[in-house]
Chains A and B, each alone.
Chain A
Amino acid sequence: SQTIHQWPATLVQPVGSPLSLECTVEGTSNPNLYWYRQAAGRGLQLLFYSVGIGQISSEVPQNLSASRPQDRQFILSSKKLLLSDSGFYLCAWSKPDTSGNTIYFGEGSWLTVV
């Protein structure tokens, strides 16, 4: 069966510091990978998605970047965090084919920028 894991679960970082959130998927090959941000327990905002190694698409311009160095690894980064970057970040994956479009989420990472 497939599993997705992201870390760290919680993070408190000062303004201007760097960020690295990591996500790995097991039990599947060539998944589509996603980073979402969720504010105050509400709807999900898609930040980045990737259909393959080194292929990253950004949905919104922002202070963040994403990388996919390996097939099942997705990293969310920032060089200098802003207060507005605080939130709940979710990594997710979906099957590479077109059927269903079902997305499976990781446990989430709470980021507080102080």
Chain B
Amino acid sequence: TQLLEQSPQFLSIQEGENLTVYCNSSSVFSSLQWYRQEPGEGPVLLVTVVTGGEVKKLKRLTFQFGDARKDSSLHITAAQPGDTGLYLCAGALSGRGSTLGRLYFGRGTQLTVWP
């Protein structure tokens, strides 16, 4: 059973379009991270959100943590070919596992942006 469900699994869009990736769960998380991974490399941290309702912006990327801390979204404005990659969300469960830094990962969203 996957604790974090990401959608969509695949996304193929044209340069300049906007997109949103979702990360949902029935569990409450103390924090949630978004990573981006390119082929043959390790995932690279984009952002960490820890407060329910929190919104963080990283250039054209906007990250939101749900009020109940059960879900998150990543919105990209005016996507560029350089945004192509695998986007992974990961969360630390509230109340347990945090002392170990245990993260639960979604399966990822493979984004392809065509020029």
Nearest residue (CB) in B for A106 is: B42
Is A103's beta carbon under 8 Å from chain B? Answer: yes
Q: How far is A106 from B41 in the complex, measured between Cα atoms in Å?
A: 8
CB distance from A88 to the nearest CB of B (A): 8
Q: Which residues of B contact A104 (CB under 8 A)?
A: 45
Q: How far is A45 from B91 in the complex, measured between Cα atoms in Å?
A: 14
Q: How far is A101 from B39 in the complex, measured between Cα atoms in Å?
A: 24
Q: Tell me the residues in window 7-58 of chain B with beta carbons closer than 8 Å to chain A beta carbons.
A: 30-31, 33, 35, 37, 39-45, 48, 50
Number of interface residues of A (CB under 8 A): 26
The answer, among A49, A98, A107, A108, for a CB contact under 8 Å with B98, is: A98
A residues near B (Cβ < 8 Å) are 32, 34, 41-44, 46, 49, 51, 57, 88, 90, 92, 94-95, 98, 100-108, 110
> Beyond the given A101-B101, A105-B42, could you list 4 further A-B residue pairs with CB under 8 A, ordered by the A residue number?
A100-B50, A101-B98, A102-B31, A103-B101
23 A-B residue pairs with Cβ-Cβ distance under 8 Å, sorted by A, are: A34-B101, A41-B37, A42-B86, A42-B108, A43-B2, A43-B88, A43-B106, A43-B107, A44-B88, A46-B102, A49-B101, A92-B42, A98-B101, A101-B98, A102-B31, A102-B48, A103-B33, A103-B45, A103-B90, A103-B101, A107-B41, A108-B42, A110-B40
